[in-house]
């Protein structure tokens, strides 16, 4: 099928979302609910948490390892929530709404709405999983978890206009630091 962008030449666009209504997890699967875990459940791969091998952690015992693994899972899931809500969804929504500055076929813009829906589901799934692990593990999730950083900076959640401290500023500062370094 061919779509042509308004005012542009006809372009071919092959959507990867033809069967989205039948296949997207947000459309066809219930929100996952954790089973009550066994006492020895690992919430995060220990090999990805090198601090667990430190003698000070090891001497604190299995509970310290259990808690550290849960905290690493929280960090990973919180990063996913922030990435989806602060970086990906605003960009996909801008494309969907025709505000990206790109001359895109209508079908591509329609697919961007589906991406927004999928990414919002990923954020909700991650948040729900944090709450479920917290309830089942007894390991508290810090309510003021640190925001993920981009190149050493910490953007303000939801801010995306230049000078507002959002992801765009964060990445711009990172790019400026890289380009100002001597070769």
pLDDT value of residue 28? 78
Model pTM score: 0.69
SS3 content of the chain, % helix, strand, coil (to 5): 55, 5, 40
pLDDT digit string (tens) for the chain, length 183 residues: 444 445 444 468 888 888 888 888 888 788 888 887 666 788 999 999 999 999 999 899 999 999 999 999 999 999 999 999 999 999 999 999 999 999 999 999 999 999 999 999 999 999 999 999 998 888 999 876 566 665 544 443 334 434 444 444 444 343 343 334 443
Could you give the C-alpha distances from 121 to 53, 85, 89, in angstroms and in order?
35, 10, 11
The angle at the Cα of 97, spanning 83 to 155, to the nearest 5 degrees, equals 25
> For residue 86, what are its two tokens?
């602060």
Q: Would you give the DSSP letter of residue 181?
A: S
Structure token digits, residue 24? 């997207």
Q: How far apart are CA 120 and CA 57, in angstroms?
A: 36
User: What was the pLDDT predicted at 35?
Assistant: 81
**Residue 151: predicted pLDDT:** 53
Domain-wise residue ranges, the chain = 2-6+16-146, 149-183
pLDDT value of position 11:
61
Nearest CA to 80 among 147, 33, 173, 136?
A: 147
Please give the pLDDT value at position 80: 95
CB proximity list for 62: less than 8 A, separation 6 or greater = none
């Amino acid at each position: 099928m061919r779509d042509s962008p308004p005012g542009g030449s006809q372009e071919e666009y092959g959507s990867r979302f033809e069967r989205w209504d039948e296949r997207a997890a947000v459309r066809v699967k219930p929100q996952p609910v954790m089973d009550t875990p066994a006492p020895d459940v690992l919430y995060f791969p220990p090999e990805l948490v090198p601090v667990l091998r430190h003698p000070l952690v090891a001497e604190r015992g299995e509970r310290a390892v259990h808690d550290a693994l849960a905290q690493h899972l929280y960090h990973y899931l919180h990063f996913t929530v922030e990435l989806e809500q602060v970086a990906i969804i605003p960009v996909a929504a801008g494309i969907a709404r025709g505000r990206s500055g790109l001359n895109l076929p209508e079908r591509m813009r329609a697919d961007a709405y589906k991406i927004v829906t999928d990414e919002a589901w990923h954020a909700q799934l991650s948040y729900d999983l944090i709450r479920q692990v917290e309830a089942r593990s007894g390991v508290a999730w810090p309510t003021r978890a640190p925001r993920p950083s981009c190149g050493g900076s910490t953007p303000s959640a939801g801010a995306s206009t230049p000078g507002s401290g959002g992801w765009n500023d964060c990445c711009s500062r990172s790019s400026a630091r890289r380009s100002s370094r001597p070769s």
